[in-house]
Amino acid sequence: MRRYFGTDGVRAVANAGLSAELAFAIGLALGDQVIAQPPHRRVLIGRDSRLSGDLLEAAVGAGLMAMGVDVWALGVVPTPAVAWATRHSDACAGVMISASHNPIEDNGIKIFGADGFKLTDQQEESLEAGIDGSHPHRPVGVGVGQRREATRLRQSYVHQLSALSTARWSGSVIADCAWGAAAPLARQVLAGSGAHVRLLHGVPDGQRINVKSGSTDLESLQQAVRRRGHGTIGVAFDGDADRALAVDEMGEVVTGDHLIGMFAPWFRAKGWLEGGGVALTVLANGGLRRALAGQGVQVVETQVGDRYLLEGMRQANFALAGEPSGHLLALTFNTTGDGLLTARLLLWLLAESGQTLSALRASFTPFPHLESALPVADKQRVFADPRLTEAVAVQRAQLGQLGRVTVRPSGTEPLIRVMVEGQDVAICTRVRDTLLALIAGLNQEVVGQGG
């Protein structure tokens, strides 16, 4: 059976690897499962601002309606809005058309169950079997599905975020919406804290989504915060707003690790830190781990990706998890990473603590941490080469007991990613450059072999 789902749904170049035909087949397969779940045969669909979003939404929706399933369209919304709305309605599933932080030409299809959680591996495998199958028993006449606008559900998602707390923070915040799904909602959500909100890259634009903007490129937000001054801070979302990073009033970056370092003791004081700990990926900074240990906060480590974070949270009975990229999960509030929620919680924390963001950012001292990525012709072949495995072991020994090296293929792009961390930045740089040079050489061999 062919595998379609990766680490975060089905993702590829839109109208090529992710064709309208494939999207229609996914709609048929999902519809076949939904019609077995009476009485409510409804599926919510949202999308980010990519130009291909209309095409793929129409194709998935057509497949669903061809099986007799009603489609409720949320329009351009963040991925977490689909998760939240699915969970808080009588929908059988939710579909998000988005490639998150990927380049413009990519797109993806993420699917949520009725509980608002992304599908498990077993559920994805069951759906994949249906994608390649036939669906001859389609309804006709009044049996076909219909499309409706889900305006009320979209606004309910916004309202519950904007009304999250009565604590008021009277500062100014610049919200970098990355020309994406956060743009129509960010002002209302963040203004609910009492803040003065200014948008940057603040309209949905499918030709510029994620381009030199948002959480993948913070330079313009840092410059805007520094120009504004007067205690202004910044928050940055990616294209589908399932992650958020921040910039403090000094223009310094507040990573996902910093956010976890701030949130963990605050969550514990609020009674939200279930299980007394947090889930972190292997990319989490060693300085954060040491700081959390000093506060008595337990840590469980997982592979990179929110599905693995969620699995680790559930096994440990934790309610908080996060990645350095700003992908945070707070199960007290939502079932998936939610950048607008993260930003709203940050403003709540600022209001209650009375501290500046730069002071909160100093909750731990990060170890030197370097990340790089190289495009490769065949990421699995390069990654599986024993010479790379041996080199990683050798270079890891150079960093000492507290140092770490992670080399992995990207789950969504044709890249090999390298992370090096240690207490000496010069050694970290040397280790990273050695591994990148080896990966480049291995890739050239693959290209030369016609890989």
Catalytic residue annotation:
100
CB 329, CB 263: distance < 8 Å: no
**Helices marked H in 271-333:** 286-294, 306-316
Query: Tokens representing 51?
Result: 């130009």
- Cis bond before residue 39 (omega within 30° of 0): yes
Query: Tokens representing 262?
Result: 């701030």
CB 67, CB 130: distance < 8 Å: no
What does 335-395 look like in DSSP terms, one character per residue? SS--HHHHHHHHHHHHHHH---HHHHHTTS-PPPEEEEEEE-S-HHHHHH-HHHHHHHHHH
Q: What is d(CA 421, CA 429) in angstroms, rounded to the nearest whole number?
A: 9
Closest CA to 84 of 44, 49, 39, 120: 44
What does 232-251 look like in DSSP terms, one character per residue? -EEEEE-TT-S-EEEE-TTS
Sign of CA dihedral 393, 395, 399, 405: negative
| Amino acid occupying residue 70 | D
Q: What is d(CA 434, CA 184) in angstroms, rounded to the nearest whole number?
A: 44
Packing angle between helix 339-353 and helix 151-162, nearest 10 degrees? 20
Q: What is d(CA 386, CA 449) in angstroms, rounded to the nearest whole number?
A: 17
The residue with tokens 């065949």 is: 378
- Angle 121-131-105 (CA atoms, 0-180°, nearest 5)? 85
- Angle 302-305-306 (CA atoms, 0-180°, nearest 5)? 95
CB 182, CB 175: distance < 8 Å: yes
